[in-house]
Amino acid sequence: MSGMFNGAALKSPGTVQKLRCAFQSVIASSFDKVIQTLTLSASDPAVSSCDFESSCLWTTSNHSERGDWSVVSADDSDPSVVPRPHTDHSLGSSEGHFLELRASPGQCEYHLTSPVLPFSSELCSLHLALSEWTPAVGNLSLLIVPVHPGSAHNLVPLYPLPHSTRAQWEELQAVIGRMDEPFQVTVLYSSCQAEGSTVALDSVELRNCEGETCFLCNTVLQTDYTGDCVEPSRVCDFHTDCPFGEDEGFICGALPPGSYCLFELDDCGWSVSTLHSHWRRLSAHELDPQERPGAALLSTPGHFLFLQVRESSAHRQASILSPWFPAPVSSSDCQMHFSLYLYGDFNGTLVVAVEESDTANSPLVWERNGQWTGAWEDVALQLTGIEHRFQMKVTAEWGPGSEADIALDYISVGAACFHTEYLTYLSPDVSPLHSVTLSVFAEVPLMIWFFNSCGTSGPHGPTQAQCDNTYRNKNVSVTVGKEGSLKGVQMWRVPATNRYLISAYGAAGGKGAKNHNKRNHGVFISAIFTLEKGDTLYILVGHQGEDACPGRNQLTQKICLGESSVIEDNLRGGANADWAGGGGGGGGATYIFKMEGSEMVPLLIAAGGGGNAYLEGPESSLDQIAREQFENSTAAPSISGRGGKAGSKTRGGGGWRDSSSPHSQAGQALVDGAVGGSACPLALTKLSWATYGGFGGGGGACTAGGGGGGYRGGDAAVTDEITADGQDGISFIHPSGEIYLPPLAAMEGHGECAIKVQLNCSHCQMQSCKRDEDTHQILCLCHDDEVLASDNVTCVSAVGRTSLWCLYIHLSVLTCLPWTN
């Protein structure tokens, strides 16, 4: 059983309770199963708060005929029989009301549950007042319960606020955070030992649950913190308008199949073919270079729809059809968006038309002929007059002299075209009896992309096939450069205009033959950049410098096992030494850059670690360890690292831009391909000891270690000293980026890159936060002897406590370090 509170009804028994909360069963529809549920705005006082003086839509558990919970006042009974607070919390009056629990024998759980809320913002929290007048024998917590049956429940603690405003009442708070689907919150009291009156609750209130988020305001989406409005036709158009991406989030995954497609996983139901003269689903690396496709198409990451137009084709017409869509509910807001590429000589016409069921009409929506710029362009079309089920048809017709390539991508028939259920979760004024499509509340699409070395190592980058295999069944699709300075570089297209946090991890240096207790870590660095939809990011993921051991022949293996000291013995001979090798290769840097015309523009560079020398040198104090360095100006020198003299010596790491080194053991600069350097000639000739620097400009090893790659390459020892490690490279952040975390040597292994939509942390005192992956809560971060206050926003002094910043580095490694201003 359950009960609903109506304070007026409880005080006036004859009053009929008009507000009721109910769930209807799951029913079938043409799209998916539908939950008929009550979804209310958190701005409604009857939803957002319960002071038990007026109507309240929260419900309770009842395990007995008389009910476990009841609304009472301090004056309602003899305090000698049932002790109670002298006043309620909300009014501070003995006549004020609160909710009292009288536990039932044999029952262990009692709850107070909110109505269904459509969503919540990052700052959403629950506040309540608690009074316990008997020894505490139970536990009070908050359960967040999504309506969708496949979503996980989340149990969160209630924390006491530092100063209570009422005697005998303790004020508590629980952080709910951002919820992207309908949900309820349940205040749960758990005890199997309680009997009789045990606890009282008052001033139950949801706060800030409709903060910074997008919602429907009359006929538009509005962000309440800016006052800007977004037209419904721009929901699900592959352009992010809302501060947290609500308009391009999971709502778009609930649209009819084929109406919102990037073509990364499949054809989305569009009528693609395998014939060359028809529309095909391809990626850039599947194009035939002999056909001389345009540069913009060759550099396009991921998959797209492609038509090869040739005069010699048997058919000079090719069409592609979408799946069938339900009839639009709006003629004014329904639009189709797509990106179009047309390159070459096109003596023809490209037409977009609508085909409706139950009618022979195919009204023309858009027509284009003549030449285009050879670059991707966005097209938006108004779809009007459609009254039946329909599909979109794109047709190309051409005549003599046509030699062109046509491609389509980012096709969207937006959310406003279909049932308004697709937009209801964004509305602050949802009808109390509105039905919501269940599939709308599916899992949020992944908003973070991880890039790695595609399973490769050594001085050269990966191939397209290797990256395709690595990223299969993941949300990453890249095109890998095949030649020149882009060989091995992964090209990724930005899916939507937004602010992105880019984290880059340089690769670690290699270990020395007798210096293998630890390696010099690659550098981690991150910054926030504003990227535009359709931008191409070029990502070179650095490779770890090669380790000297286990060696590649019998003698080097003996050296690695400590059974031979031929190198130490011979190097003691000074200038006449004729043995070398055993150092580790320098780690490659991870570069993220853009192209402006033919010019490479660096955004973020995480330097590689220097390679270890053959032997470990004397212990260095912390004061002697160089801090990680970075540049923040493109005017700063971006040269490769210095190394030994020509012949048998170690070489430095490659930089961003430098003249090509004549020595193969030097790490190459990025503009020259960033190939890792080879071992010094003497190591190769005497011991066949080939210890390469990593892809990304890592310097090759000799007896000393190679320098790490970077914006400026790390130096290597001039005299090939037996204990001289290669230096780390120097990192870089473009001036247009906002530094998120300064450089930190943290990476053990190959480099990586992570890109994610940046959280809005403007509410946090330090302007820094992270999302809890399990609860979706936004947690503000503090530093410098401070801890987060109970409001989850401000930072307070942690007197008597050691303050550490704990950072999750390399996805799974927790690194803690002191933080200073």
- Strands 738-747 and 522-531, by their bridges, are antiparallel
What pLDDT is attached to residue 73? 87
Q: Please give the structure tokens belonging to residue 49.
A: 């708060």
Task: Please count the CA atoms within 13 angstroms of the CA of 140 that sit on its side-chain side.
Answer: 23
What pLDDT is attached to residue 134? 61
Q: Mean per-residue pLDDT for 529-556?
A: 89
Q: Please give the structure tokens belonging to residue 472.
A: 């299969």
pLDDT of residue 117 exceeding 90, the answer is no
- Residue 92 DSSP code: -
Query: Phi then psi for 335, rounded to 5 degrees?
Result: -135, 155
More confident residue, 344 or 134: 344
What pLDDT is attached to residue 523? 94
What pLDDT is attached to residue 154? 81
Predicted confidence band of residue 196 (pLDDT cuts 50, 70, 90) = low
What pLDDT is attached to residue 497? 76
Q: Mean per-residue pLDDT for 185-196?
A: 75
Q: Please give the structure tokens belonging to residue 343.
A: 């390159």
CA 467 to chain centre: 20
Q: How far is CA 601 from CA 484, 485, 522, 633, in A?
A: 17, 13, 22, 12
CA 291 to chain centre: 37
Strand pairing partners for 237?
Answer: none
Most confident of 223-237, 724-738, 750-764: 724-738
Q: Mean per-residue pLDDT for 182-209?
A: 81
- Alpha-carbon distance 118 to 48, whole Å? 13
- Alpha-carbon distance 699 to 435, whole Å? 63
Predicted confidence band of residue 197 (pLDDT cuts 50, 70, 90) = low
What pLDDT is attached to residue 176? 86
For residues 353 and 365, the answer to whether their CB atoms sit within 8 Å is yes
Q: Determine which of 40-44, 165-169, 276-280, 458-462 has the lowest per-residue pLDDT on average.
A: 40-44
Exposure string of 13-47, with b = 16+ CB inside 10 Å and e = fewer, is eeeeeeeebeeeeeeeeebeebbebbbbbbeeebb
Phi-psi bin for 222: left (phi > 0), alpha (psi -120 to 50), beta? beta
What pLDDT is attached to residue 708? 94
- Alpha-carbon distance 35 to 44, whole Å? 22
For residues 169 and 85, the answer to whether their CB atoms sit within 8 Å is yes
Please say whether the dihedral angle defined by the alpha carbons of residues 770, 776, 780 and 783, taken in this order, is positive or negative. Answer: negative
Q: Mean per-residue pLDDT for 270-293?
A: 86
Q: How far is CA 551 from CA 405, 581, 584, in A?
A: 51, 10, 11
Predicted confidence band of residue 720 (pLDDT cuts 50, 70, 90) = confident
Q: Please give the structure tokens belonging to residue 345.
A: 């000589």
Mean pLDDT over each residue of the chain, to the nearest integer: 76
Indicate the burial class of 455 (C-beta count within 10 angstroms; 0-12, 13-18, 19 or more). exposed
- Alpha-carbon distance 251 to 150, whole Å? 16
- Alpha-carbon distance 73 to 336, whole Å? 60
Q: Determine which of 103-112, 239-248, 789-798 has the lowest per-residue pLDDT on average.
A: 239-248
- Alpha-carbon distance 763 to 795, whole Å? 12
Q: Coil, strand, or helix at residue 443?
A: coil
What pLDDT is attached to residue 795? 87
Q: Please give the structure tokens belonging to residue 100.
A: 């009292």
What pLDDT is attached to residue 814? 37
Predicted confidence band of residue 82 (pLDDT cuts 50, 70, 90) = low
Predicted confidence band of residue 302 (pLDDT cuts 50, 70, 90) = confident
Query: Phi then psi for 46, rounded to 5 degrees?
Result: -70, -20
Predicted confidence band of residue 19 (pLDDT cuts 50, 70, 90) = very low
588-647 per-position pLDDT tens digit: 999 999 998 888 999 999 999 999 998 887 765 444 456 678 888 777 765 655 654 333
- Strands 795-797 and 170-175, by their bridges, are unpaired
Predicted confidence band of residue 558 (pLDDT cuts 50, 70, 90) = confident
Exposure string of 566-602, with b = 16+ CB inside 10 Å and e = fewer, is bbbeebeeeeebebbbbbbbbbbbbbbbbbeeeebeb
The residue type found at 136 is: A
- Residue 684 DSSP code: H
Q: Mean per-residue pLDDT for 693-715?
A: 92
Calculated CA dihedral for residues 386, 392, 398, 402, nearest 10 degrees? 140
What pLDDT is attached to residue 460? 94
More confident residue, 311 or 29: 311
373-422 per-position pLDDT tens digit: 778 899 999 998 888 889 999 999 998 888 899 999 999 998 888 854 44
- Alpha-carbon distance 747 to 520, whole Å? 9
Close Cβ partners of 718 (under 8 Å, ≥ 6 residues apart): 642, 643, 644, 645, 649
Close Cβ partners of 377 (under 8 Å, ≥ 6 residues apart): 339, 340, 341
- Residue 794 DSSP code: -
- Alpha-carbon distance 459 to 540, whole Å? 12
Query: Phi then psi for 435, rounded to 5 degrees?
Result: -95, 145
What pLDDT is attached to residue 135? 58
- Alpha-carbon distance 782 to 71, whole Å? 41
Strand pairing partners for 745?
Answer: 523
Q: Determine which of 208-222, 370-384, 445-459 has the lowest per-residue pLDDT on average.
A: 208-222
pLDDT of residue 729 exceeding 90, the answer is yes
325-360 per-position pLDDT tens digit: 888 887 777 899 999 999 988 989 999 999 988 777
pLDDT of residue 212 exceeding 60, the answer is no
Q: Coil, strand, or helix at residue 139?
A: strand
For residues 235 and 335, the answer to whether their CB atoms sit within 8 Å is no
- Residue 298 DSSP code: H
What pLDDT is attached to residue 642? 60
What pLDDT is attached to residue 806? 38
Strand pairing partners for 378?
Answer: 339
Indicate the burial class of 161 (C-beta count within 10 angstroms; 0-12, 13-18, 19 or more). middle
Most confident of 70-84, 734-748, 779-793: 734-748
In order of start, what are the domains of the chain with their CATH numbers?
2-207 (2.60.120.200), 260-413 (2.60.120.200), 759-817 (2.10.25)
What pLDDT is attached to residue 66? 58
The residue type found at 742 is: P
457-513 per-position pLDDT tens digit: 999 999 998 998 888 767 788 899 988 899 999 999 887 777 889 999 999 999 998
Predicted confidence band of residue 229 (pLDDT cuts 50, 70, 90) = low
- Alpha-carbon distance 513 to 502, whole Å? 35
More confident residue, 255 or 627: 255
What pLDDT is attached to residue 418? 80
More confident residue, 784 or 678: 678
CA 616 to chain centre: 40
DSSP letters for 299-349: T--SEEEEEEEETT-S-SEEEEEPPPBPPPS-SSS-EEEEEEEEEEE--EE
Query: Phi then psi for 295, rounded to 5 degrees?
Result: -65, -40
Exposure string of 138-152, with b = 16+ CB inside 10 Å and e = fewer, is bebebbbbbbbeebe
Predicted confidence band of residue 734 (pLDDT cuts 50, 70, 90) = very high
